[in-house]
Chains A and B, each alone.
Chain A
């Protein structure tokens, strides 16, 4: 099953309430996905040339302060960081490749959940309401957010197998459905240099997009390619730095509903997840068409 939710604010005045508006949406999809949950929130941007990372370490008591000190000394860059539950958010004054390569070399046990200027990916095993509380979602601010509640089918219930999956800088993907050609596709992508952390089918979809974008595709081109190359059932929501995209497979048996007002665009697997949004009674509510790419992005 699985549940997907997304909220993109058109009205900047609501940005301080993003987490509060989104929390009941995520919790409403518990019936569709009680195994794990996660979300990618966009906001609190770092300037050009700097990078924001969400990091985890297998040792929950890992000394993030000491890592920050090492980065400062070794790379001679500014480092600002804070801890949110088991995750650390680092803001580093260098390009993403520099810090990612540094971490890969120095600390192999660190998992980079996301990298970019705006994105933070937070996810965990357990009920959505517990995860929202763990990361204090209700107090978070930002411009847009996408989330997922997982009912695991194709791989184990682990934090790593939870959604969203990072698909590149400031990009991530959540998936409702299952892919049938993920094993073959994973092997092809590995040969092209994409790395995977799990046996999860959705991670392959994320890896596919990462690979296409890396080769210079626009998001739209990459998603057109996904419609052709991914075999299976899917409703995807893809978070970008400026908004989000929604795409359903040509058969469209995995549900999706959208709502739009002057203040926001929202998507969810079921309408139930939208009922707590302000002004939903008079919102334009519709189902996205199969095999059609919808993109909402703010002007730069």
Chain B
């Protein structure tokens, strides 16, 4: 295991060392000490690495992640795991706004609460939040799943495409074109698998499912003639 102290090395040094592993993997396990809220830690990884960040991270931590498994032993700032492609990002504390924004794949687990716009424009990532999510979560979510074990804030799933949303607690309000939907057997199966992958113990039957009513402009075949 390699340990890098971010009070002795720059984030750029750390990220370069992690990027070098994409060419030839010589060290699988990495430990990052004293992050002290710095931005862009462990961004753009492209190798099957395990990276443990021991403290609070700043903005965009583990952004663009591919294959790697990044764990933040603290809180994460804005845009954690934004545009992730694959791999796993786990936040032991809370995450700020836009967690998992635009992410295409992989699994993002937030063990605390997530702020506003969690999963905004998500394109295939699976996000499991043990606590609450803030307002406008899953805005324009296109694919993937968002699981919320606590409560959701205002305008959940506004202008939603095909992301599956599961919420155990209350939903303050639903966004435009987002509706509650029937929880069928296939959804219980999907949610069971998501909770298992995230290592979260909850009863899938206690969740409600939300999805797109498919009534907005893009869903109307009548509008096809505009192109």
A positions within 8 Å CB-CB of B: 251-253, 255, 257, 270-272, 274-275, 281, 285-287, 289-290
Contact A271 B135 (CB under 8 A): no
Closest-by-CB residue of B relative to A289 is B134
A227 to chain B, nearest CB (A): 15
Contact A272 B58 (CB under 8 A): yes
* Chain A contacts for B97, CB-based, 8 A: 252-253, 287
Contact B94 A270 (CB under 8 A): no
Contact A271 B94 (CB under 8 A): no
Prevailing SS type, chain A contact patch: loop
Closest-by-CB residue of B relative to A276 is B36
Contact B77 A270 (CB under 8 A): yes
Q: List 20 A-B contacts (CB under 8 A).
A: A251-B116, A252-B134, A252-B135, A270-B37, A270-B58, A271-B36, A271-B37, A271-B56, A271-B58, A272-B38, A274-B37, A275-B36, A285-B75, A285-B93, A286-B94, A287-B94, A287-B96, A287-B97, A287-B115, A290-B116
Which residues, 134 to 159 on B, are CB-close (under 8 Å) to A?
Answer: 134-135
Cα–Cα distance between A251 and B139 once the two chains are bound (Å): 13
Does B78 belong to the interface (CB within 8 Å)? yes
Prevailing SS type, chain B contact patch: loop
* Chain A contacts for B37, CB-based, 8 A: 270-272, 274-275
Cα–Cα distance between A251 and B120 once the two chains are bound (Å): 14
In the complex, the 5 A-B pairs of residues with the closest C-beta atoms, listed nearest first = A271-B37, A272-B37, A275-B36, A271-B56, A287-B115
Cα–Cα distance between A245 and B226 once the two chains are bound (Å): 51
Cα–Cα distance between A255 and B79 once the two chains are bound (Å): 12
* Chain B contacts for A285, CB-based, 8 A: 56, 75, 93-94
* Chain B contacts for A289, CB-based, 8 A: 134
Cα–Cα distance between A299 and B96 once the two chains are bound (Å): 32
Contact A252 B116 (CB under 8 A): yes
* Chain B contacts for A281, CB-based, 8 A: 55
Contact bitstring B76-97, A, C-beta under 8 A = 1, else 0: 0110000000000000011011
Cα–Cα distance between A289 and B77 once the two chains are bound (Å): 15
Closest-by-CB residue of A relative to B55 is A281
Which range contains the number of B residues in contact with the other chain? 10 to 19
Closest-by-CB residue of A relative to B135 is A290
* Chain A contacts for B116, CB-based, 8 A: 251-252, 290
Cα–Cα distance between A253 and B134 once the two chains are bound (Å): 12
Interface centre among A257, A271, A275 (most CB of B within 10 A): A271
Contact A255 B56 (CB under 8 A): no
Cα–Cα distance between A286 and B115 once the two chains are bound (Å): 10
A208 to chain B, nearest CB (A): 25
Which residues, 90 to 137 on B, are CB-close (under 8 Å) to A?
Answer: 93-94, 96-97, 115-116, 134-135
Which residues, 13 to 56 on B, are CB-close (under 8 Å) to A?
Answer: 36-38, 55-56
Contact A271 B78 (CB under 8 A): no
Contact B36 A272 (CB under 8 A): yes
Closest-by-CB residue of A relative to B96 is A287
* Chain A contacts for B56, CB-based, 8 A: 271, 285
Cα–Cα distance between A252 and B154 once the two chains are bound (Å): 13
A122 to chain B, nearest CB (A): 26
Closest-by-CB residue of B relative to A285 is B75
Closest-by-CB residue of A relative to B38 is A272
* Chain B contacts for A271, CB-based, 8 A: 36-37, 56, 58, 75, 77
Cα–Cα distance between A283 and B134 once the two chains are bound (Å): 22
Closest-by-CB residue of B relative to A281 is B55
* Extra A-B contacts (19), CB below 8 Å, given A272-B36, A290-B116, A290-B135: A252-B97, A252-B135, A255-B77, A255-B78, A255-B96, A270-B37, A270-B58, A270-B77, A271-B37, A271-B56, A271-B58, A271-B77, A272-B58, A274-B37, A275-B36, A285-B75, A286-B94, A287-B94, A287-B96
* Chain A contacts for B38, CB-based, 8 A: 272
* Chain B contacts for A287, CB-based, 8 A: 94, 96-97, 115
Interface centre among B37, B56, B116 (most CB of A within 10 A): B37
Cα–Cα distance between A270 and B57 once the two chains are bound (Å): 10
Interface centre among A275, A281, A289 (most CB of B within 10 A): A275
Contact bitstring B170-184, A, C-beta under 8 A = 1, else 0: 000000000000000
* Chain A contacts for B134, CB-based, 8 A: 252, 289-290
* Chain A contacts for B93, CB-based, 8 A: 285
* Chain A contacts for B135, CB-based, 8 A: 252, 290
Cα–Cα distance between A272 and B11 once the two chains are bound (Å): 14
* Chain A contacts for B75, CB-based, 8 A: 271, 285
Cα–Cα distance between A270 and B78 once the two chains are bound (Å): 10
